Amino acid sequence: MKILAVIPARAGSKGIPNKNIRLMNGLPLICYSLRNAINSKYITDVVVSTDSKEIEIISKQMGVNVRHRSKELCGDSVTLDSVVYDALCSYDSKSIDYVITMQPTSPTLRVETLDAAIEFAISKKLDTVISVVNKPHLSWKTLDDKIIPNYEKRLNRQYLPPNYLETGGFVISRKDVVTIDSRIGKSVGVYPLSDDESVDIDDFNDWIIASR
């Protein structure tokens, strides 16, 4: 079985300048995701999709393939679906069984957890498995210009139903469900992470938490 890990890593960042190559505890941030992908028992191929020369150098130094990302795939409105599909197309896709998207903004994810999630996806024969953190809360939404609750009954948090928030840890997809505009198949599972593994770095507060 061949499993391809795609790590999308653009140059620059609005929230944290040069986030993906910024040093966290002595290593460029992207190195943590690269190390997990390399050390996984199941991942056979790793490719970084980037428009950054610095990220390309780091990736190649770690023995990882690089897919140069075109300007058309670097806009703020571009989804990861098209980026991952582009990286997949750079391979002999017929030989790939699963594609795993791993974002470099999730440095606290453990390789043991990643491998357990891969085992879960394969054993359950799921099209897609998404890393999540369970955060049940009373929440509200807007519908037809009205504020309405997302819950049926007000309960203390410990009695609320699960509320799964996606993390940047991984999206495991069967190769056949990966298209230019989707990585989600018909049969979907979630793989809950602990709070300490679910840190997704978006701003400096997240950076401090992950660093600690």
Return the pLDDT at 157.
Answer: 84
- 8 to each of 52, 83, 205, how far by Cα in Å? 11, 7, 22
Q: What is the mean pLDDT of residues 125-142?
A: 95
Say yes or no to pLDDT of 93 above 90.
no
Query: pTM for this one?
Result: 0.91
Return the pLDDT at 75.
Answer: 81
Return the pLDDT at 74.
Answer: 85
Return the pLDDT at 34.
Answer: 98
8 A C-beta contact, residue 188 and residue 124:
no
- For 159-200, what is each residue's pLDDT tens digit? 888 999 999 999 999 999 999 999 999 999 999 999 999 999
Say yes or no to pLDDT of 25 above 90.
yes
Say yes or no to pLDDT of 92 above 80.
no
Arithmetic mean of pLDDT over the chain: 94
Return the pLDDT at 3.
Answer: 97
8 A C-beta contact, residue 140 and residue 148:
yes
8 A C-beta contact, residue 128 and residue 175:
no
Q: What is the 3-state secondary structure (H, E, C) of 22-82?
A: CEECCEECHHHHHHHHHHCCCCCEEEEEECCHHHHHHHHHCCCEEEECCHHHCCCCCCHHH
